[in-house]
Copies of this chain bind each other. A is one copy, B any other.
């Protein structure tokens, strides 16, 4: 007989996963290598270590180790807020009248308000281990910046955060939170870096973008002694750290013998989606499951659904290594959609490859629909979701209603990446009916694509 499923599927401290899961180990075809932008040859560890910490670089390049041990000094930190709740959405199911079973992994119970802390903690831990004094980074919605501020306060490191200007204006309380944890916050583009000054000279009124902010943060890291740069998404080591999300879900699902039919995650740079699906994608790649996996992105920044699969820079100033990914072009500046964390031109290369090879679906949704879904979810389940997370909520509700039409009892899992407590400006705009959907025209996209590097690898 099937066990009764509680509202919250707990894992005790003993049952907590001890390993991250590296999806690449299970991929028959690996993603294309990251390239050095000068030589166009695969980037070496030495190339990357000028910018990033050593152990994350090793993880970035590791395509074969399936399970990687989570260090003890980091597990200490994880224990302060993990395991994150895995919740059966009984109330939402009832409200929708669906025969589907809906589960969500709630990553928003920590103060940073999102899953970002999982990799922030890991990267700060390694920086401390490697004897660094400070880190620099960028933040869009402010979730990554908050997470890094918390992690650096814990591990005793100084931190400079370049926050996308439009976000720092939309979210003064995010800024205050980051500063309360002791980090220096600089709205980007700024006049504190060459990259920032150059972007400001081109367009003094720009609201900024993650691409711009990344350029500034990298410049800060390479020009400062004992400082490295940390990134909150896109890269493979970030997805590896985030696999703690999927590992916890898998452990809890295994306890109750639950096998998801559909897994849904929002996708900006891909860190939450990649982490949530990691062990389930492993099963799928090994033909042990037929789980559908759906990436949800904003129609305003549709890298999967309208982007090109090409080598591109991670930043606007074209200073990073080249990554083969679905991209709108590093010059694409997305509109001021309220899901700041999904305003990024590119996508993690592993997820890009999996999408290219048909293991992953993608869907683009408009923000008014997303907020409709968010409020429906908030009233039923009691949790006010972040605008980013609400993209996954929207598609989970759509799939559950599809089950209602078809009568199928599917098992749906989605990632609730965070809470919307610092996103009330967005809810205020929605409540006041002052929110519009911001879909780029083909001309907007063509302008973005024109910024792709003209290299042999992009011509084939």
Contacts and interface: CB of A to CB of B under 8 A. Distances in A.
A67 interface: no
B8 A79 contact: yes
A180 to B, nearest CB: 5
Interface in A306-331: none
A154 B80 contact: no
A150 B176 CA distance: 26
Interface string A140-153: 00000000001001
Nearest to A7: B79
A456 interface: no
A383 interface: yes
A70 to B, nearest CB: 15
A428 interface: yes
Nearest to A379: B153
A176 B429 CA distance: 10
Interface string A413-429: 00000010110100110
A6 B10 contact: no
A184 to B, nearest CB: 12
Contact of A384 (B91, B111, B380): B111
A379 B182 contact: yes
A180 B378 contact: yes
A77 to B, nearest CB: 8
A79 B90 CA distance: 10
A13 interface: yes
B173 A173 contact: yes
A173 B427 CA distance: 9
B424 A177 contact: yes
Nearest to A91: B80
B113 A421 contact: yes
Contact of A154 (B12, B150, B382): B382
A132 interface: no
Interface string A391-426: 000000000000000000000000000010110100
Nearest to A79: B7
A155 to B, nearest CB: 11
B182 A424 contact: no
B378 A181 contact: yes
A110 interface: yes
A427 B180 contact: yes
Contacts of A80: 7, 87, 91, 381-382
A177 B109 contact: no
Contacts of A381: 80
Given A8-B79, A179-B431, A424-B176, A111 B382 contact: yes
Nearest to A9: B13
Contacts of A153: 378-379
A19 interface: no
Contacts of A180: 375, 378, 384, 424, 427, 431
Interface in A424-443: 424, 427-428, 431
Residue of A110, A150, A180, A431 with most partner-chain B CB within 10 A: A180
Given A80-B87, A180-B384, A421-B422, 13 more contacts: A6-B13, A6-B79, A80-B91, A80-B382, A91-B154, A110-B383, A153-B378, A154-B380, A172-B424, A176-B424, A176-B427, A180-B378, A182-B379
15 contacts: A6-B13, A80-B381, A80-B382, A109-B109, A111-B382, A111-B421, A150-B382, A154-B380, A173-B421, A176-B424, A176-B428, A176-B431, A177-B384, A177-B424, A180-B378
